[in-house]
Amino acid sequence: MNFTITKPELFVDNQARKRSGHMGHALVEYKPGKILDFYSDCDYDRVSGHSGYGWMEYRRSEDYGRTWGNERVLNYTKRVFDEGVHTALCEKAMANSKGDICCLFQITDASRPIACEPWSEPTYIISRDGGESWSDARQACPVKGRIYDSLARGDTLHFLIHDNPHFIGNAPEHCFRLYRSDDLNAGFYEQSVLPINAIGKGYCTMEYMQDGSIIAYVYDSLNETHMPYCISRDGGDSWDECGSAYFAKKIRNPQLVRTHKLWFLCGRNGDKGDGLVIYSSPDGINWDEGVIAATRPVDGCAYYSNTLYIKESGRVLVQFSHVYDRNRVNIMHLWIDQ
């Protein structure tokens, strides 16, 4: 193994404040060494803590994630919550070459116990001053679904959404759509549809390959040891025929990241799994046996995670939820060092 995984460390102590923290683990490096870390502040009692009934907070690091500032409430999400109809959870964040930050939100049904699906049309907000202030929210696209991943290169921004108001695809019209923006002032437009059958599929993730191609993976609830993938070699306009990659310890809620040496894919080791698994690969297609980096209590719920490759430090930050009681979770950090 050409990398080491640090011991998990506590980032947000929800146990002390009697809260929980599912969904909404966005991370973004908007300037070299300057990071915004988003996490949810959710209800303690709903579904024993496994809900999105709450709002988002964030903290800033200006030294590559070594130290972090005080928590701040992301006001847009608190306003949505206080209105009592929806919740707005920050699934992904990205930054363009100028350091403008774009936060992408899933809009959920606050009346449901889990405050999750069915999803409405996603939204986004922008900060042009490193998270000190934020724009009004705009609709990201007219699709009712959940944004699962985003990419940024220069001023070109992408996000990938499952066109489905519910988690698992079960109808012919369900699909995965790629949206693009070359100017945040102009918003996003649909660029293409992935050639992956969405029946039985849910989560998805994507990353740039070394030659600039985009590879996208989709979670298959019917086969957790394999994930279908497809590759775009023209910036997202079209996609090659699909392949399938093998994951020995299973995978769910995948998060994909490429570094200067290796690829990493993090997530849960299956629907009924008991751990946070980290796979590595030399090419983003052929994966090793995987390492269990953290385990959960027998009666606890599973992990949500996100990853951020911090280029100048050469480290990967993995943020994930970890059970402290029933479905109630703290927010944890660990690092992958190469």
> What does the pLDDT look like over 249-301, one tens digit per residue?
999 999 999 999 999 999 999 887 778 999 999 999 999 999 999 987 766 66
Q: 4-337 in CATH: which number?
A: 2.120.10.10
Asked if 66 contacts 57 with a C-beta cutoff of 8 angstroms, the reply is no
Written as six digits, the tokens of 320 are 């994930």
Output phi, psi for 82, to 5 deg: -65, -25
What is the model's pLDDT at position 48? 87
Give all strands (DSSP E) within 82-235, no chain letters.
86-95, 101-109, 123-127, 138-139, 145-153, 156-163, 175-181, 189-193, 201-208, 214-220, 226-232
- Closest listed residue to residue 164, CA positions, set 139, 199, 194, 188: 199
* pTM score: 0.96
The neighbour count for residue 82, using CB atoms within 10 Å, is 8
Q: Quote the pLDDT of residue 299.
A: 66
pLDDT at 104 (0 to 100): 98
> What parts of the chain have a pLDDT lower than 50?
none
Question: CA angle at residue 264 from 260 to 268, to 5 degrees?
Answer: 165
Q: What is the reported pLDDT for 22?
A: 87
Q: What pLDDT, on the 0 to 100 scale, is given for residue 326? A: 87
